[in-house]
Amino acid sequence: MQKNAKIYIAGHRGLVGSAILKNLRADGFHNFVLKTHAELDLTDTQEVANFFKKEKPEYVFLAAAKVGGIVANTTYRGEFIYDNLMIQNNVIHQSYLNNIKKLLFLGSTCIYPKECSQPMKEDYLLTDILEYTNEPYAVAKIAGIKLCESYNLQYGTNFISVMPTNLYGPNDNFDLEKSHVLPALIRKMHLGKALQMNDWSTVRSDLNNLPINGVDGQATEAKIIAVLESYGITKTRDTLSVEIWGSGKPMREFLWSEDMADACVFLMKHRDFKDTHEFGQREIRNTHINIGTGIDISIKDLAETIKEIVGFEGELKFNTEKPDGTMKKLTDVTKLHDLGWRHKIDLREGIEKNYGWYQETFIK
């Protein structure tokens, strides 16, 4: 990519998109097309067609998606499959029609089967049933992979699909209903620590910036305590506890979002679709690329690590009546390593960075 290349980042305000934008700017790129959801609804086919016809970007990073944790995935199943299918179909198809030079499509490792062999190789796609709780989102992302793959094979486009593991970092979602486990635990334990210390200014500052179910920092102490209890942050006369869904036994892999962005930019600059599969194959499948660390941790150990970093001294209560989800999700990153990229930030350093970002952003 030339430094003056016109680049469209779909989802530039999100966790991944903002990290990609930051990485590109640091590398000297400056000609960006950036649209918020209010300015461009990617589920609207005509809006997207008009945008591409007018702007004619040369490179596209498709990081826009409807995402969330296990609660959101279970509650909004219809929205998760429809919105994600529409976003990716519109952007990928218009990229083809407008002859962009290269597109990078971001999915998720939830595309792999529920009982997938570990670590998960790209070749394990579509070999068994999916985890039920995130099936709609996963089906949409699998469709995106196949759309890119099929357009490459039929039309000669240069579209690359990457499947990141669980991501966290600056611009993470700390909404307790919709966030993933790592940012949710950071926020829960920070609020728990504040309650333990009777630090109501911190609690109110958090809620003023991130209201929970309409409850902000102006509410009464009783109302605030009630809404926090509804999300498992429970204060009694003698103890304070934070509830965590499931047994704590599932193993998860986490990747710092700025590492993810670095991998995406590396692939966009140095690799093409032809590099994602062996030359001469009769059937070209599974051309997507896993992006991760290849290292996992149990939810229990993750919670204990966050507890230590935050300084929360209360109890961790694992609610075994709630679903665990997939018991192990570890990516095989051999393909990524062979293509020339490895992660740099380890988990503890990343959690410390993410906790710092949360405090600077929401505790004012």
- Domains of the chain by residue range: 7-171+254-294+330-345
Predicted pLDDT at 190: 97
- Average pLDDT of every residue of the chain: 94
**To the nearest whole percent, how much of the chain has pLDDT over 70?**
99
Name the strand (E) or helix (H) holding 259: helix 257-270
Amino acid at 102: K
Average pLDDT over residues 96-122: 95
Predicted pLDDT at 154: 97
Q: Cβ(276)–Cβ(112) under 8 Å? A: no
Model confidence at 72, pLDDT cuts 50, 70, 90, reads: confident
pLDDT by residue (tens digit) across 121-165? 999 999 999 989 889 999 999 999 999 999 999 999 999 999 999
Amino acid at 17: G
pLDDT by residue (tens digit) across 294-324? 999 999 999 999 999 999 999 999 999 988 8
Predicted pLDDT at 283: 93
- Which tokens belong to 30? 């400056």
**In the chain, which ranges are continuous DSSP H helix?**
15-26, 45-55, 70-75, 77-97, 135-155, 181-196, 200-209, 221-230, 257-270, 299-310, 334-339, 347-362
Indicate the Cα dihedral angle 262, 350, 18, 69, nearest 10°.
110
Would residue 137 show up in a list of annotated catalytic residues for this protein?
yes
Q: Cβ(20)–Cβ(9) under 8 Å? A: yes
Predicted pLDDT at 328: 86
Average pLDDT over residues 266-273: 97
pLDDT by residue (tens digit) across 156-198? 999 999 999 999 999 898 998 778 899 999 999 999 999 999 9
Judged against a pLDDT cut of 80, whether residue 266 lies above it is answered with yes
Among residues 59, 137, 151, 358, which one is catalytic? 137
> In angstroms, rounded to a whole number, what is the distance separating the alpha carbons of residues 306 and 301?
9
With CA atoms as reference, report the closest residue to 288 among 157, 148, 174: 148
> In angstroms, rounded to a whole number, what is the distance separating the alpha carbons of residues 312 and 128?
40
Average pLDDT over residues 247-255: 95
Contacts of 145 (CB under 8 A, 6+ apart): 105, 107, 111, 125, 161, 163, 287, 288
Indicate the Cα dihedral angle 202, 205, 209, 213, nearest 10°.
80
Indicate the Cα dihedral angle 313, 314, 318, 319, nearest 10°.
-160
Judged against a pLDDT cut of 80, whether residue 12 lies above it is answered with yes
> In angstroms, rounded to a whole number, what is the distance separating the alpha carbons of residues 41 and 43?
5
> 7-171+254-294+330-345: which CATH architecture?
3-Layer(aba) Sandwich (3.40)
Predicted pLDDT at 325: 77
Predicted pLDDT at 342: 97
Predicted pLDDT at 184: 94
